[in-house]
DNA sequence: CGCTGTTATGTTAGCGCTAACATCCTTTTT
DNA sequence: AAAAAGGATGTTAGCGCTAACATAACAGCG
């Protein structure tokens, strides 16, 4: 039950070891090891006998020892900037499903959008002899680069596309920004404000804004920007709407960096009695279910988050199995036209 | 002859080891180990010199080897039933913040509400010599019980209260069910339908239903139950509303097992032009931000999820530091009266 | 002056497992 | 029939680190 037992054994735990199983089964340690890890290399009868002994003694393999001896753990390091964002959760789920089915364990790290923390996490994860590393984004600190460059295992950079260290699965954020801006222009909006949150850190929102701005520039329009101090949340979105109404009273559309902000603004507009899109159009990014359940339905861009996770995991597994995969994979996105624009 | 590195490297990686750092610094391996792990036990000057050498050689400690030698990793196993539910994400965040600040790494497992998968995960995590284990819920498979009973490290069971293996932080779900039912009765509702999702698996929803039913029984009322095949989602909530309207046309209130379902129903009622709470009252459970941003605001019960995570982590850390903590901790809940009832 | 206590460092012996090589059969090939 | 190939199991030697004990040097003390 609790950690009460304070025996004075010199080292080691009371747990059954592989050697004890071997003795009990009347075989050598390596045979037990093989029966558990590469069963096809052991005679069927011997195997059955060993597994029965394992069961009888309640043996739980010491994975730490195994990893040390084989110089590789079945860990996959996964580093994301935030857990508060449903987007990363879905990517993680995609990764997890695929990896767990193949016996890999995910080691999750959260950088809170801080590149130094990322380097720190990478350091720790390398120390665990992970089989591969997955991280969100292509931007890293110099320390992080140094650590990763000297590493000999697969690295997957996700979410965006570009010059990667190794493998890369993601989508083109600038193109997504272009796409939504074009849509808003087509709908006749001309005073379009872009609203993001902590964009110095969430630089992918910045990439989308760059696309948005180019599109507006091509139409001879300004692209005012509001950069909130908070990341996405319904509350921040509601506040942002107030701010836009005050600072850009002639705005006819708001292009939000994510669906949380957009939906928060949309629900707040409802409370204020503002017509959406009649008085002001609202657009988001991500394609979260929430946006599709409010009235009017949110116009947004859907990214295949879950699929991105699965794809990334599949490619890493292929690589780990010795296969070769193409370096870059564009998962694309789709414009989801709702009634809010 | 030092044929050590001349022949093909038999084992091991190209990475710098602690012994190499020790040689380069002109001290013994254990001194380097101490300089890194218990710096106060090493002379300040020696320490500085060693750390400089570590830096110069780009040494990254092999945590696997350290864990094997010390028979304990700085891993905390965390097992939750789902990542799709914001509730668990927030609990995890609370745990993570607290543990990471103290140098522990979370090892996350997802059971998908399957007790056999839980046992499987526990097995794996024990194999990693975790320092402690956190799991959601008090119900486990027999295999899981056996594994945990023979374990000598702290165990924390979260979310609900009751007979625990070791430590327990949570809230009283039956009381929460009572509380909301009482509120609905006070508001004059009499035909109250309870709607949950996969309640055989999400048995805490069942505990709340039991409280709900008792409260209604005390008022001489029936407590019809609808158990959906899906867990919480906005879409499932919308469908559930349709189902209630069809099968219980005289219902005047719906008590949902979670906010996702409740909000989905609420938004759907809006689309259908139904008045909430005039035509039908809607109540949820969790107190997610979403419910507080829709109109009418959702009546729900708020659980201190983030705090639950922090509290659990704090208690485990106290335990790990050799301190003693009380076994049970009730974090409570609060009724959040909105405009939907 | 020896005694004890303290601080700083070193020596030894594993932790529990698996890679690599070795051995001993049985089967297949030539 | 001898040689080669393959299958099953064993022996040896670590993986890289740290617990436990050992040593040394020095301060404080009666």
Q: What is the DSSP string of A219-246?
A: TT----EEEESS-S-HHHHHHHHHHHHH
Q: Which nucleotide is the nearest neighbour of A34, by CA and C1'?
A: C18
Q: How far is the CA of A233 from the C1' of D2 (A)?
A: 81
Residue B18: helix, strand or coil by DSSP? helix
Domain B18-61 has CATH 1.10.3720.10: no
Average pLDDT of every residue of chain B = 94
Q: Which residues 173-212 of chain A have a CB within 8 Å of chain B?
A: none
Binary contact (A89, B84; C-beta < 8 A) = yes
Output the pLDDT for position B150: 85
Which CATH architecture is the domain A73-171+306-330 placed in?
Answer: 3-Layer(aba) Sandwich (3.40)
User: Which residues of A fall within a CB distance of 8 Å from B114?
Assistant: none
Q: What is the pLDDT of residue B7?
A: 35
Q: Do B234 and A290 touch (CB under 8 A)?
A: yes
Size of interface A-B (CB pairs under 8 A): 124
Sign of CA dihedral A35, A36, A40, A45: positive
Strand D bases near protein CB (under 7 Å) are 7-12, 14-21
pLDDT for residue B10: 53
Sign of CA dihedral B31, B34, B36, B39: negative
Start-end of CATH 1.10.260.40 domains in chain A? 18-61
Task: Provide, as residue numbers in chain B, all residues whose Cβ is less than 8 Å from the Cβ of A100.
Answer: 110
- Domain B173-302 belongs in CATH node 3.40.50.2300: yes
Nearest-neighbour CA in chain B from A194: distance (Å):
22
* Token duo for residue B4: 């050590």
Asked whether residue A103 carries a pLDDT value surpassing 60, the answer given is yes
- Give me the average pLDDT of each 10-residue run along chain B (341 residues): 37 83 96 96 96 96 96 95 95 96 94 96 96 97 94 95 97 98 98 97 97 98 97 96 97 98 97 96 97 96 98 96 94 98 96
CATH 3.40.50.2300 domain locations along chain B: 72-171+305-333, 173-302
Residue extent(s) of CATH 3.40.50.2300 domains in chain A: 73-171+306-330, 173-302
pLDDT of residue A3: 33
Q: How many CB atoms lie within 10 A of CB A247?
A: 11
Note whether A25 contacts B: Cβ–Cβ < 8 A.
no
Minimum-distance nucleotide, CA of A17 to C1': C16
Count of all residues that appear for chain A in the document: 341
Q: Which CATH number fits domain B72-171+305-333: 3.50.50.60, 3.40.50.2300, 3.20.20.110, 3.40.50.10170?
A: 3.40.50.2300
Each residue of B199-231: pLDDT tens digit?
999 999 999 999 999 999 999 999 999 999 999
Listing DSSP states for B247-287 in one string gives: H-TT--EEEESSHHHHHHHHHHHHHHT--TTTT-EEE-SB-
Nucleotide nearest to B34 (CA to C1'): D18
Alpha carbons A158 and A135: distance in angstroms, whole number: 6
- Contacts with A, B 266-285, CB within 8 Å: 267-268, 270-271
Q: Do B146 and A58 touch (CB under 8 A)?
A: yes
């Amino acid at each position: 039950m609790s950690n009460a037992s304070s025996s004075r054994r010199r080292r080691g735990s009371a747990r059954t070891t592989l050697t004890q199983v071997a003795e009990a089964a009347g075989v050598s340690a390596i045979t037990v090891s093989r029966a558990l890890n590469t069963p096809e290399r052991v005679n069927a009868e011997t195997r059955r006998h060993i597994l029965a002994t394992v069961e009888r003694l309640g043996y739980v393999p010491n994975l730490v020892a195994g990893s040390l001896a084989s110089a590789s753990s079945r860990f996959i390091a996964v580093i994301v900037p935030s857990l508060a964002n449903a987007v990363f959760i879905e990517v993680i789920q995609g990764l997890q499903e695929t990896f767990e089915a193949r016996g890999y364990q995910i080691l999750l790290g959260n950088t809170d959008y801080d590149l130094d923390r990322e380097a720190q996490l990478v350091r720790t994860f390398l120390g665990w002899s992970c089989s591969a590393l997955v991280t969100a984004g292509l931007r890293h600190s110099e320390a992080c680069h140094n650590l990763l460059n000297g590493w000999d295992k697969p690295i997957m950079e996700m979410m965006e596309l570009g010059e990667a260290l190794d493998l890369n699965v993601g989508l083109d954020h600038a193109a997504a920004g272009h796409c939504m801006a074009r849509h808003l222009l087509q709908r006749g909006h001309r005073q379009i404000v872009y609203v993001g949150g902590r964009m110095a850190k969430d630089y992918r929102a910045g990439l989308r804004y760059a696309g948005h701005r180019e599109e507006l520039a091509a139409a001879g329009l300004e692209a005012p920007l509001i950069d909130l101090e908070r990341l996405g949340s319904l509350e921040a979105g509601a506040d942002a709407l107030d701010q836009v109404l005050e600072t850009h009273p002639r705005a006819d559309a708001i292009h939000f960096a994510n669906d949380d902000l957009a939906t928060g603004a949309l629900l707040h507009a409802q409370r204020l009695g503002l017509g959406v899109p009649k008085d002001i159009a609202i657009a988001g990014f991500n394609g979260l279910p929430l946006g599709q359940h409010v009235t009017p339905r949110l116009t947004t861009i859907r990214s295949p988050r879950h699929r991105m996770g699965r794809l990334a995991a599949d490619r890493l597994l292929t690589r780990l199995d010795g296969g070769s995969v193409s370096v870059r994979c564009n998962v694309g996105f789709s414009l989801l036209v709702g009634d809010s624009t």
